[in-house]
Amino acid sequence: MKIGVISDTHTKYNKAKKALEMLLENGAEFIVHCGDIVEVEILELLKHCGKRYVGVYGNNDAHLVSHHKNYNLVQEPYHFKLSDTTFKLMHLPFYMTPDTEVVLFGHTHQFESEFNNGTLFLNPGEVCARNKPVSECAMLEVNEDTFIVTHFTRDKNEDTFSTKIYNYTRLK
């Protein structure tokens, strides 16, 4: 299963739209937003992307609570299961215990992909390109024996995304 992972879109609707479209074009079957969604228009992108999705509240999303019933928004930490794999989703990296197979988080605006003792810790980086001139996101491919993480980056002056791939052997 391919899971598109974005975070920290903030007010950057066009960057979020490009990232989401690219993930869908690359086969994303499920979308996760790791928080700091900020704009209702970005929630609309998720809702109408044609795939199931989940978004977690970030530290800049309190105002979105009034829209909670219209979107698949959750509080952190949120545990769920996809493709026979356990996940924990959060925005703030406060719940970084290895009690699931995959831990997804945001907030730091820095891409991170680490595999420790059977748990993948993944932060897709920032879509908003606030801290650096690069918009980024990730695709997590969950296979029976492997996790494949593709880190996508797009420079402000580029139309296409560059990729770097990380392969991890699952412990089962």
The predicted-structure confidence for 10-64, as pLDDT tens digits, reads as follows 999 999 999 999 999 999 999 999 999 999 999 999 999 999 999 999 999 999 9
Q: Is 17 helix (H, G, I), strand (E, B) or coil?
A: helix
Peptide bond into 133 cis (omega under 30): no
Give strand ranges (E) for the chain: 2-6, 30-33, 52-56, 73-74, 78-82, 85-89, 102-104, 111-116, 119-124, 134-142, 146-155, 162-169
Average the pLDDT over 112-126 and give the result.
97
Q: What percent of the chain has pLDDT over 90?
A: 96
Helices (H), 10-164: 13-25, 40-47
Question: The tokens of 159 are what?
Answer: 């139309």
Helices (H), 4-130: 13-25, 40-47
pLDDT at site 157: 83
Please tell me the pTM assigned to this model.
Answer: 0.97
